[in-house]
Amino acid sequence: MKLYVDSFPSPVAEILLAVDERGAVKHLEFVAPSVGRTREHHLARYERSGEVAFDAAPGAEARRQVEQYFAGDRTRFELELAGDGTPFQREVWRALVAIPFGATTSYGELAAQIGRPNASRAVGRANGTNPIALVVPCHRVIGVNGSLTGYAGGVDIKRALLDFERGQRDLITPPARRASGASA
C-alpha cells in the first residue's frame, strides 16, 4: 500500500499526516522527541507499512480540517479514517470519536460505554495505540481521578489540547506568530 505523507506545524507540535491512495487518514501523529516520537520513529513505521511518498496533495483535506480545528473553526472532523487495528481497538476508537469537543471521560467510563465494564486496562491499551491523534481524540481520556494519564505525544501536548478545547485558546500560539517570534 502506498502512503502519502505530509508534515506541517501546529500550535502544539509538528504533525505528520499519512493518507492512503483514497485520501483516507492512516496516521496523524505529533512529533514529540521528548517522549521518543521523532520524525524518524514515525516515518520508519510508515515505511514498514508500504511505499511512502512525500506529497501533501492527497492529504490536503485532512490538513485543512486540522488547521481549522486549531483556528477555533472546527470542533468535529469529517474525514475518512483508515487506521489499522484489531476489532476491539477499532471499537474503542469509534467510542473516542463520540466524545464531544471540550469533554473528557475516563478509561473505565469508556469501557462501560462499549459494554465491557471490566476492560478499562484493555481500553487504555487500545487508546494508546490510536494511530490518528486529534481526529480520534484519545487526548480526551483521563484518569478516573481527573489526572492526565499518559499520551503518545506527551502529557504537555495533552494538557494543551484539553485546555484549548475548554476555551483557553490563548495558551496555543498560532504557528505564524510563533515562527515570527511574536507573543500571543
Query: Would you name the residues annotated as active-site residues?
Result: 138
Cα distance between residue 76 and residue 74, in whole Å: 6
Torsion sign across C-alpha atoms 89, 94, 96, 97: positive
C-alpha grid cell, residue 168: 483557553
Q: Which residue has the cell 479514517?
A: 81
For 183, residues 6+ apart whose C-beta sits below 8 A from its C-beta are 173, 177
Cα distance between residue 48 and residue 128, in whole Å: 20
